[in-house]
Structure 1
Amino acid sequence: MKRLLLTSFLVFTSIILHAQDQKWSVEANYPFTLDDGTFSNNDGAIDLGIKYRFFRTDLVRLGLDLNGGFVYDKAGNNNEDTFKSKTYLFQPKLFAEFSVPFAPKWHPMVGVGYSVVSNNFSGSISGTDFSDRSGADGGFNFDIGISYDISSRFFLQLKYDMILLQVKDEVVFDNERINIDFRENIDRLKIGVGFRF
């Protein structure tokens, strides 16, 4: 078993180190919310992604970007509030990554896609019970950013991520059903690291 694991590790490492055209990359980001809306009071957040580049010229690479994120939030103005929310994001996108001839380590990028935002609420806030509520919303997603190559494999990146979220829900407040239907812009800044292979 140890030989099989060692052999698998060596083959995988050899493929990564000898790849001529690095079509794949993985990344890990920490997102910051820039406005007072969804995700603004998060107590924990992470954003992970994988990219595949399927078209390349000297100046641009086109590809698919699959990002997933998690945000944990507990809010409340007093000790009686027990509200907690867990939010999961799934963000498939098409992206373009550009080469800058006079600055070969810098790579501007732009992406367009759709975000699915799934929420799971529990507890109460200001006397309103949110126990075991969940739902999913979605909306258009746009991002723009830049990466900097530390080496041929590792890079740092900074991205601005905008989600035009369409929120639809139904809540009960004082025994009255209230339909919720509104649009919300979520602006986030992501700082992260990545690895190409």
Structure 2
Amino acid sequence: MKKIIIFALLIIVTSKLFSQNEKFGIEVNYPVLIDNNFIGVNYNGIIDLGLSYSFINTTIADFGVNFNTSIFRDSNKGGFSEIDITVISFQPSIYGEFKINGLQKFRPIARLGYTLLTFSNVIDFSTGEEIESNTSRGGLNLGLGVAYQISNRVFLKFEYDFTKLYETGRLSRSPFNTNINILAIGLSYKL
């Protein structure tokens, strides 16, 4: 955790030295899984970190690109084994942050991108044997949310993410295996 905090501080300081007009942003969110699917039933959200760059700024909206990564964990201890599964989500996307006359502190957000989920499984047996495996799945992502301006650079952010994973031959095509719904709550800082 210390490495993540040091890395985030390094990004803030470095970006501040080279940025102009608040085009860069960082965010820290808590991801809450809100659906009855294979992710929501089995995993807990740990953290979501994001970087953004706004390349079009108008009086109506800002448009840009962002990259988020989230961490989810599941740990099961049984009689003869302990299973630890870590899921890391990588989400590159394009976004629009809209400005509403009369409601300057509220900014609706819309995102469209791709989600890649990587699954790292470690099974420790009571005999001392350990088995590791890695898999991944991906799909389209749509995010809708709102940011509330607390200060000139700090925003409170609520965002809903829907991901439709591509189907694979081994899994059924039911929404339980292909739909992921996440609510992210956190802070955004414009550099």
- Relative to structure 1, is the Cα distance of residues 108 and 121 closer, same or farther in structure 2, using a 3 angstrom cutoff? same
**TM-score under structure 1 length normalisation:** 0.77
| Structure 2 counterpart of 1:46 | 47
- 2:50/2:67 contact within 8 Å kept: yes
TM-superposed deviation, 1:146 = 0.3
Check if 1:191 corresponds to 2:182: no
- Relative to structure 1, is the Cα distance of residues 11 and 84 closer, same or farther in structure 2, using a 3 angstrom cutoff? closer
Instruction: Tell me the percent identity.
Output: 26
- Relative to structure 1, is the Cα distance of residues 180 and 12 closer, same or farther in structure 2, using a 3 angstrom cutoff? closer
TM-superposed deviation, 1:36 = 2.2
RMSD: 2.8
- Relative to structure 1, is the Cα distance of residues 89 and 36 closer, same or farther in structure 2, using a 3 angstrom cutoff? same
Distance 2:115 2:94 in 1: 12
- Relative to structure 1, is the Cα distance of residues 22 and 131 closer, same or farther in structure 2, using a 3 angstrom cutoff? same
| Structure 2 counterpart of 1:105 | 105
Counting matched residue pairs gives: 173
- 1:143/1:161 contact within 8 Å kept: yes
TM-superposed deviation, 1:39 = 3.0
- Relative to structure 1, is the Cα distance of residues 65 and 38 closer, same or farther in structure 2, using a 3 angstrom cutoff? farther
Query: Where has structure 1 moved over 4 Å in runs of 4 or more?
Result: 9-16, 78-81
- 2:15/2:24 contact within 8 Å kept: no
| Structure 2 counterpart of 1:6 | none
Distance 1:151 1:191 in 2: 17
TM-superposed deviation, 1:10 = 9.1
Gaps of 5+ in 2: 1-11, 125-129
Gaps of 5+ in 1: 1-8, 125-129, 170-178
Q: Which amino acid aligns with 1:65?
A: N
- Relative to structure 1, is the Cα distance of residues 43 and 11 closer, same or farther in structure 2, using a 3 angstrom cutoff? closer
Q: Which amino acid aligns with 1:64?
A: V
